[in-house]
Amino acid sequence: MSKKVLAGAGIFLILFLALMQLVLAQPVLARPLTQASNGGLSLQNAIIDEKVYPGEVLVHRMMVSNQTGAPPRDLQVEIAGFGQGLDGGFIPLPADQDVSPYSARSFITAISNPSFHLEPGKSVEVDATITIPQNLGTDTRYAMIYIHTPMTGDISGGNVGQILGISVPVILTPQNAVLNPIGVIDQAQVAPVVSGQPITIETYLKNTGNRHFKVTARAVITDSSGAQVTEIDFPATATSLFPTFRRLIAFTYSSLDNPQGLKVGKYQVDVKVLHADDGSLVDEKQLSFEITQPYAPFAGVDLYTVSTTCFNNQVPGTVDATAKADTKIIFEGTGAVTGCVAVVKYPQEPALKVPFEANLSKGGMAATGVKFIGINVTGFNQGLAHVEIYYHPGELPGGMSTDSLFLATLVNPNSFWSKLGALEVQSGAQLVKGDIDVANLVNGNTVALGGTKSLSLAGALPYIGGCLIALGLLAVLILLVMRQRQKNEKKLKRTK
């Protein structure tokens, strides 16, 4: 046999052995973690809220700092109009979009450092000069100073790349101001009701006055007889609603306080939006919706399998649903809660947008699901949930090691699965632990217990057989090459 043929056979043998290693141990790649960061920028004096006189000149001093260890930054400072999104977030507006009659953009007459470079651990002072006109009037006026890294589009949030920025609201109130904090609900609707999905009530409040204010809201649902089904509170908004802008006030209801669900019929909703400071009424709206099929918080699940716990201005602590759902949840940092927690163990994987066993590239975990737990909470605004799911040895598929077990959940908006934080497997207690933000459980979510199976020798036989066939074909090819070579050598001897 020639050296070239032997070399080829050796290479094939090495590849074959490497393939066998891959076949007999199939690790599942972990999904890369995505971490949020503020980029290391910080700002002192990040709001301008002043009572002013006509003709007055103010200088507001800010200090922009770049955290030690953060990358160097090139920053720009823009004078912008004041804008606000439906979620209450601030939006800096360019001059051509700043059409509010309450704009103070033109009052900001100078910026001391309109652009500068900021090294890690360093700070730069930025002064804004504000010149109050003589014809100020009696309305509160608004503007914004936007400190940001360079952008690829306009500052209104259009065609932009990744931008690190800080918005500084500017609020200027005349000494003789006439304040009129009023608003109107200009739109309200109830989305079509689907069992297993939260009932969603959306109201839009527009500030029709000349002064910003914070709100709370309450929605009362009654049935066709007028009996109250539930009352849902919308907490005080973190940011005020500013003049000319609208705010989405959304209520969701999953009937966790009515474990029997809701019957078919017509229902009424009364929505009241209140001033957060004194509870006075801003506006009120009545609307209705219809349930055409019996409604339950978890679709396709018998109600007796759902474990529900409710709280009335209480710290939830531990919710033990092991009797029905093999699950215990320990809440931390929630504060006092008026709401409910419902937990259910699905008989099989529920119909989800992304299957648990799907490949990583398709948003799945590329693993085998052992059990699927539905968790739905209402009335929670903050905190962490320590989830504990118990298993029985007989529930684990053949070849699945307890060391491979983990908990995962669908990341909103159900685009991909992700492992819970602080994962821990206690095989002696037949328990898997993990942490999830409570915000990811509001309106319902699924937590899956899963793992990976090591391929046994019996399971690997089809792969081994395929490799042996390939090796046999290579051996036949080598023999054919050798015979052809011998024939050529004999012909060469005859010609000589």
- 8 Å CB contact between 75 and 149: yes
**Burial zone of 351 (CB within 10 Å; 0-12 exposed, 13-18 middle, 19+ buried):** exposed
| Phi, psi dihedral angles at 245 (to 5 degrees) | -105, 165
With tokens 């900001």, the residue in question is 108
Which tokens in the block code for residue 95? 């001059």
**Look-up of token digits 């099989």:** 348
> 374, 341 in Cβ contact below 8 A?
no
pLDDT at 450: 96
Q: What does the CA dihedral 465, 468, 470, 476 come to, rounded to 10 degrees?
A: -140
Which residues touch 480 (CB under 8 Å, ≥6 apart)?
none
3-class SS of residue 203: strand
Tell me the C-alpha distance between 82 and 78, whole Å: 12
| Measured CA distances, 135 to 101, 131, 139, 174, 224 (Å) | 14, 12, 11, 11, 56
Structure pTM? 0.73
Residue whose C-alpha is closest to residue 342's, from 232, 201, 445, 229: 445
How many other CB atoms are there within 10 angstroms of residue 126's CB atom? 22
Residue 467, pLDDT score: 55
- What pLDDT is recorded for position 201? 97
As a whole number of angstroms, the distance between CA 483 and CA 489 comes to 10
CA distance 88 to 204: 12
> Residue 60: which residues within 8 A CB-CB, separation 6 or more?
45, 48, 127, 128, 130
Say if residues 252 and 381 touch (Cβ distance below 8 Å): no
Spatial contact of 371 and 449, defined as CB atoms under 8 Å apart: yes
Whether residue 71 has a cis bond before it, omega within 30° of 0? no
In a structure prediction context, what are the per-residue pLDDT tens digits for the chain, which is 496 residues long? Answer: 444 444 444 444 444 444 444 333 333 332 232 222 346 889 999 999 999 999 999 999 999 999 998 899 999 999 999 999 999 999 999 999 999 999 999 999 999 999 999 999 999 999 999 999 999 999 999 999 999 998 654 545 444 456 788 999 999 999 999 999 999 999 999 999 998 889 999 999 999 999 999 999 999 999 999 999 999 999 899 999 999 999 999 999 999 988 788 999 999 999 999 999 999 999 999 999 999 999 988 887 888 889 999 999 999 999 999 999 999 999 999 999 999 999 999 999 988 889 999 999 999 999 999 999 999 999 898 999 999 999 998 999 988 999 999 999 988 656 899 999 999 999 999 999 999 999 999 988 999 999 998 754 444 445 455 556 656 676 667 777 677 777 776 666 666 5
Greatest alpha-carbon pair distance for the chain in Å reads: 120
**Cβ distance 246 to 206 under 8 Å?**
yes
Give me Rg for the CA atoms of the chain: 32
Inter-axis angle of helices 457-495 and 3-24, nearest 10:
170
Residue type, 38: N
What is the Cα–Cα distance from 476 to 473, expressed in whole angstroms?
Answer: 5
Concatenate the DSSP letters of all residues of 274-317 into one string: EETTT--EEEEEEEEEEE-S-B-SSTT--GGG-EEEEEEEE---
